[in-house]
Structure 1
């Protein structure tokens, strides 16, 4: 949804190739939750073993996909598609779109890798930064989804950081599920109102949940304390939106769900998808960096418990512009697949 973050904490399972021209979709399915993608991955198997393909040639491994595409090895790539993926697109279509896509590209550089809930997600960008590849694999190297697209950049706003230095708005270690300055690492980037937003989950041993994926309580992020990223005044609170049942059930009528908005002096933090009834502040309250303002939940346009965090230039989430965050830790540049935590010397 374009209005606010959908968690989309998972994979583009069965997502079909996007055209190289301007990123226009030829066919695409909505990303599923990470828990659902685990179940789907278990049902899909490659045509041959991940070690050796027909004729004794080594099959393409996840790290090889971008180079295989650049070298025109469309047959090798297609062989690694899951059976369900092959039903969505033919080898001839892959070859046609792939050959158009690689025109003018001399190299694809690895950008991010994320291992979560039994799947592996990889992103590569072209040497010029104008094209990108996003691929999803199961644990045997089967390609569950592939997205090739043109990439837009916004250097003026990319380089304009907030005046306020922010701390990470939570305690402990969290995984960056969406974050970065291209649409493949951060799907928010396409929209000015969300461009520099982040989605954070918690992962333990490579999984965001343990037990029944249909229960919010199974998710490591659920109920974790969320804190003010900097001093400010609370200007907005929603606290009564029910949490969704995980795995694909979302509340698009209340996209932000339970949310706390903090004014840092003309720059506004939005901490969204909080647990129903967990907010501990009210409108007009002053807060200090590190103060607990609520707990992570699964309310609003969210498919599993997580935190959506962004800073905007206005108090209206949908009519304001997202701002690129200046972090208190100068070495912090949260990117998809990274695990981040507050360093002791910069604790609020």
Structure 2
């Protein structure tokens, strides 16, 4: 027991290491409630995936005793079971669309199709890039200027993806990955109203 107390005391004295990676603050990518899983530092080594974030929209399960969030109804074996499938994807910033890639194959949940995901790449005013991947029904064009929070696509399930979600990646002008942070003033629980 004494060992763990010493370890705990030591942990309070030694400052936590801070990452050398810069962060980029972006607008919420959905109007609905969503949750994200982050790629850890070193998991992937290339801009767009390194330090990326995978976000999935949740829906609300309710009965006479319970209310909680989950990501799909039924078995989840159909894309339509997932609350996020074909929901709006919002522009992450006031920026320019620099690249669009379309993968026409839609995966079934749990079954990944090899190949690159459909994606939109944006360039911010300071030269950083933000990528939204696994999109479908893209509504913008390369060279177009977009305002943060405007609809640019729908949630898809393509490329290296197990279920409908949006992957976000960001990097600076030197292709150094950036951590993703959401501007919390753009987050809302519109789906609970």
TM-score class normalised by the smaller sequence: 0.7 to 0.9
Aligned-pair RMSD on alpha carbons? 3.1
1:233 alignment counterpart: 96
Q: CA shift at 1:208, angstroms? A: 1.2
Q: CA shift at 1:326, angstroms? A: 5.2
1:202 alignment counterpart: 57
Counterparts of 2:41 and 2:120, CA distance in 1: 19
Q: Which one of the candidate residues 161, 165, 173 is aligned to 1:306?
A: 165
Tell me whether 1:260 sits opposite 2:120 in the alignment.
Answer: yes
8 Å contact from structure 1 (residues 225, 295) kept in 2? yes
Q: CA shift at 1:327, angstroms? A: 4.0
8 Å contact from structure 1 (residues 241, 300) kept in 2? no
Q: Which one of the candidate residues 290, 296, 299 is aligned to 2:155?
A: 296
1:328 alignment counterpart: 183
Counterparts of 2:188 and 2:71, CA distance in 1: 22
Deviations 1:20-50 (A, max 9, x none): xxxxxxxxxxxxxxxxxxxxxxxxxxxxxxx
Mind listing any 5+ residue stretches in structure 1 that lack a counterpart? 1-70, 72-101, 108-125, 129-152, 180-185, 331-340
Deviations 1:178-223 (A, max 9, x none): 13xxxxxx44653343343211112233431112422111101100
Q: CA shift at 1:106, angstroms? A: 2.6
User: Which contiguous aligned blocks of 4+ residues in structure 1 show a shift greater than 6 angstroms?
Assistant: none
Secondary structure of the structure 1 residue equivalent to 2:20 = helix
Q: Which one of the candidate residues 2, 27, 35 is aligned to 1:175?
A: 35
8 Å contact from structure 1 (residues 313, 322) kept in 2? yes
Q: CA shift at 1:328, angstroms? A: 3.1
Greater fraction of residues in helix: 1
1:250 alignment counterpart: 112
Counterparts of 2:149 and 2:112, CA distance in 1: 29
Counterparts of 2:123 and 2:107, CA distance in 1: 28
Taking structure 1 as reference, are residues 219 and 327 closer, same or farther at Cα in structure 2, changes over 3 Å only? closer
Greater fraction of residues in strand: 2
- Higher RCO by CA contacts (8 Å cutoff, separation 6 or greater): 2
2:139 alignment counterpart: 280
2:64 alignment counterpart: none
2:65 alignment counterpart: none
Taking structure 1 as reference, are residues 195 and 154 closer, same or farther at Cα in structure 2, changes over 3 Å only? farther
Q: CA shift at 1:325, angstroms? A: 3.5
Q: Which one of the candidate residues 196, 207, 215 is aligned to 2:78?
A: 215
Taking structure 1 as reference, are residues 127 and 169 closer, same or farther at Cα in structure 2, changes over 3 Å only? same
Secondary structure of the structure 2 residue equivalent to 1:106 = helix
